[in-house]
Amino acid sequence: MMRDRRGAIIYVGKAKNLRRRVSSYFRPGARHPPKVRSMVDTVWDFEFVTVRNEAESLLTEASLIKKHKPHFNVLMRDDKRYLALRADQSAPWPRFECVRIVRDDGARHFGPFPSSPVVRAAKDFVERRYGIRSCTAAVPDAEAHKHCMADTVRTCSAPCLGRITPEEYRRRFDEACMFLAGKRPEAISEVEEKMREAAGRGDFETAARLRDTASALKEITKAHFVRKTPEMRRDDAIGGIRELAEAIGLAAPPRTIECVDISNLFGTYNVASLVVARDGLPDRRFYRHFRIMGFEGADDPRAMAEVVRRRYGPESTIAAKSPRADLYICDGGVTQLRAARAVFAELGIGDIPSVGLAKQQELVVLDDGRPDVLLPRDSQALMVITRLRDEAHRFAITYHRSLRERAIRESALDEVRGVGEAKKAKLLRRFGTLAGVARADAAEIAAAAGLAEDVAEEVLRVARAVTGRSRR
């Protein structure tokens, strides 16, 4: 999900390799159509969701687009909906029907699924396999039978003619529902056995049809095929913070979790990021960047101490705007954790629970006399804290990269003869960045820094060459 400066989602997209997909938008010299170029210029930040398979990604993408209506998803802002199977068990003679709107009407629904042929193949199979009627009559009778072909080809149990009791029909319908819920896998084995028999006698057309049917049935009966809705994600997150509280001995689930990551490159551009989760889910409103000012060089524990002091100290401008943490996570081992706890004690707020998260084995470091905690790989608690740690890392790296790139771009002015440090400072003070210089004209540049006309022209040429901005 791409967001603008206000945090609004402006584009939703999916890919098997998100790094490659996203980087393709920002390649130097990329020739994008106007819509894409406008989107790239508007993007301020990213957010991503990991799903289990392509089907779930399709459904999640469609759900997010319909909910947020991103400006640049114009090609998908129609009313397209995926098919689901509806089973109204309250009907006298229940049947299955394909629907595109899943309503809370008391009926049972299977799906929706991104592939319509899969849904229709499953419907056809359960009708044939269990003798379920396909007619649309509210109550099938002899008149309905006159217009029905299912009984003629022996795929229907013919309740309209009284060939089956209501109790037996209901039993078959319940069996069909259990199959669609993935609880009767032996039915798929029957299809695969028939497929092998058809192939063995040389009937490859029938074998191919049965193969496709078996494939469709496997897809529709997979339990994890149901999409991960926002409600389900919230439930998982709530469960995760409850698990986490129990695992590390908190009195209550931590509603507000802060996680800090330190980033530097061989001791240069020392920065930190602070990200926040509310009820187990990231809340971007409270994210913060920090330039480490107290020292130079690489010293993660010292940087962690500075972040805690600037976040919670008496001169902090953040404390009044952000909720106090119920759990503070240091991305790193015991040294970072001890540095953070020392400042908490110094500030008189040692009651804020704090832990470290070691990168190796995702170990939760406690350092309070209790053994460290190794959470199960499939636990929701581990998912909550690693997702937040990864978000902190991403946020720090993004900030770090932007500082490096800005410095590289701004240093390009050093190559222009006649522009010293004082005049460069005037230009950056007037236009903000090198990109701002590139958007100006030579007269404005000359006036801002007191440059000769030919020097101003050279500054403009360099600025536009570095930023990729063409002459207007």
pLDDT score of 306: 95
Mean pLDDT lowest among 41-45, 48-52, 176-180: 48-52
pLDDT of residue 149 exceeding 80, the answer is: no
3 state SS for 123-136: HHHHHHHHCCCCCC
For range 11-15, the mean pLDDT: 86
- pLDDT for the residue 246: 94
**pLDDT the model gives residue 274:** 94
The pLDDT value recorded for residue 207 is 78
CA distance 61 to 213: 27
Q: Rounded to a whole number, what is the distance in angstroms from the first to the last CA of the chain?
A: 32
Structure confidence by residue, pLDDT tens digits, 289-314: 898 888 877 789 999 999 999 999 99
In this structure, are strands 363-365 and 373-374 parallel, antiparallel, or unpaired? antiparallel
SS3 102: coil
> What per-residue confidence (pLDDT) applies to 223?
40
- Tokens encoding 373: 């905690």
Q: Where are the alpha helices (DSSP H) in 97-256?
A: 116-130, 142-145, 166-180, 186-200, 204-220, 230-248
Indicate the average pLDDT of the chain: 81
Residue 146 has pLDDT above 80, yes or no: no
Question: Which pLDDT score is estimated for 183?
Answer: 73
Residue 407 has pLDDT above 80, yes or no: no
**Average pLDDT in the 309-325 region?**
89
User: What integer is the mean pLDDT of 100-106?
Assistant: 75
Q: How confident is the model at residue 472 (pLDDT cuts 50, 70, 90)?
A: very low
pLDDT digits (tens, 9 = 90+) for 47-67: 887 776 665 676 677 667 767
When pLDDT is cut at 50, 70 and 90, the band that residue 151 belongs to is low
Q: Report the distance separating Cα 401 and Cα 398, nearest Å.
A: 5
- Strand-pairing partners, residue 110, are 85
Percentage of the chain modeled with pLDDT above 70? 86
What value does the mean pLDDT take over residues 356-381? 83
- pLDDT beyond 70 at 87: yes
* pLDDT confidence band for 409 (50 / 70 / 90): low
Residue 60 burial (10 A CB sphere; 0-12, 13-18, 19+) = buried
- Residue 469 — very low, low, confident or very high, per pLDDT cuts 50/70/90? low
Q: Tens digits of per-residue pLDDT, 415-465? A: 788 888 788 878 878 887 778 888 899 999 999 989 999 999 988 988 888
The 10s digit of each residue's pLDDT in 204-249 is: 777 777 777 777 777 666 643 444 656 767 888 999 999 999 999 9
341 pLDDT more than 50:
yes
What is the C-alpha to C-alpha distance for residues 279 and 231, in angstroms, rounded to an integer?
13
Say yes or no to pLDDT of 77 above 50: no
Q: Tell me which of 77 and 188 has the higher pLDDT.
A: 188
Asked if the model's pLDDT at residue 367 lies above 90, the reply is no
Range with top average pLDDT, 102-111, 249-258, 294-303? 249-258
pLDDT for residue 76: 43
